[in-house]
Amino acid sequence: MPVYLDHNSTTPLDERVLASMLPYMQELYGNASSQHRYGRLTSGAVERAREQVAALVGAKPNQVVFTGGGTEANNLALRALCGRKPGGHLAISSIEHASLREPAFALREEGWSVDEIPVTRDGVIDSVALPAAMHSDTRVVSVMLANNETGAIQPLAEISAIAHKRNVPVHTDASQAAGKLPVDLVKLGADLMTLSAHKFGGPQGAGALIVNRALSLQPLLYGGGHEQGLRAGTHNVAAIVGFGTAAELAHHELEARIRHMRQIRNLIQDELLKNPEISVFADKVERLSNTLQFGVYGCHGETLLLELDRKGFAVSSGSACHSDAHEPSHVLLAMQVEPELALSAIRVSVGMSTQDEDAIKFVAALNTILAQFRRTSVRVANIK
Ligand SMILES: Cc1ncc(COP(=O)(O)O)c(C=O)c1O
């Protein structure tokens, strides 16, 4: 199998997580809303997972609303705060994931206005620009905690303080941050926070919106009153149990994980920076310890990705959840990266299974491909 260097897209399911899920796919199959013993066994497991997920981000268990993943939690966050009646304003960062941008733009179609808060050239929210992005009718400021492409960590506590001065609630998409860096809901001051289980060893299709209960919120899905009326639908018990186990493991192992991933990421980065053709994005600011995004002038990211795949390395060109081969990443454009360089972007995201030799082999393969490109003059102009 190829060396997997795409952990921001998804992580392998931790085998301890799988072991905790299996009983809920076999003998413990009760509906968690049922009153009998089968139901009590599974609802007990859901409540334990709620405690584990809450503990990961310094929240209270009753603040956790389980969803079918980060995308649903982001959609719910915006709809929950905006309600059904059109009118009003949303301020979102210019580097949000598609699962936040697109529901915001859909609300614009319904009559809401949306502004994008600019970032600096290093990919960090320009907090000086934030007050101007808020209006008297702003319903939410939404800024992700760590960017999925560059890994840049955003100054969320500062953003929350600015927004709260104007009584505007703050949502943060912490899908890439949770399980990879310490996250404390209270210190960050966020009112709503999105989590996704499969970004840190949990199953795909499980996530949560952490909710400050003082807000008046609208559900996205109606029918059944589950999750305190905010997310109807029979609980996916096995996935929720896996999410809880993954959260507990990440909480306990966080420091060791950060150390391991940073050491390997830095090994790759130090080697790449020896090549003057390569630019590493957001390398001057605090980033997720596992993430590295770079561009090579004149190369096409998709071509590079396919060559790396052929040589046995799985990486991503920007955001794998929403990749369009011929559009430069909106994140890099927001950072004022030249479109040609943005088109060459490759994201490497390492994980707990990545080893030093994987990093060394990756750099060697990349250098071989770039040398080959130089010889055959494979350049953007030739590929278009
Ligand atoms: C920042 C960010 N938010 C949200 C999501 C979507 O999460 P999910 O895959 O759980 O729907 C992703 C997935 O890549 C992401 O990177």
Give the pLDDT confidence of 257-268 residue by residue, as tens digits: 999 999 999 999
Annotated catalytic residue: which of 114, 321, 333, 365?
Answer: 321
Half-sphere exposure in the Cβ direction for 274 (13 Å, CA): 9
Query: Residue 361: enclosing H or E segment and its boundaries?
Result: helix 356-376
Residue with tokens 């059109």, as numbered in its chain: 86
Q: Does residue 379 register a pLDDT over 60?
A: no
**DSSP codes, 45-56:** HHHHHHHHHHHH
- Please work out whether the CB of residue 203 comes within 6 Å of at least one atom of ligand 1: no
Question: What is the predicted pLDDT for the residue at 381?
Answer: 45
- Please work out whether the CB of residue 191 comes within 6 Å of at least one atom of ligand 1: no
pTM of the model as a whole: 0.95
| 267 backbone dihedrals φ, ψ, rounded to 5° | -60, -45
- Please work out whether the CB of residue 69 comes within 6 Å of at least one atom of ligand 1: yes
Cα 96 to middle of ligand 1, angstroms: 10
**CA 319 to centroid of chain Cα atoms:** 10
321 is catalytic: yes
Amino acid identity, residue 376? T
Three-class secondary structure of residue 251 per DSSP = helix
What letter does residue 26 receive in the DSSP assignment?
Answer: T
Cα 375 to middle of ligand 1, angstroms: 38
pLDDT digits (tens, 9 = 90+) for 51-104: 999 999 999 999 999 999 999 999 999 999 988 777 899 999 999 999 999 999
Q: Is 181:146 a contact under the CB 8 Å cutoff?
A: yes
Q: Which atom of ligand 1 is nearest to the CA of 147?
A: 1
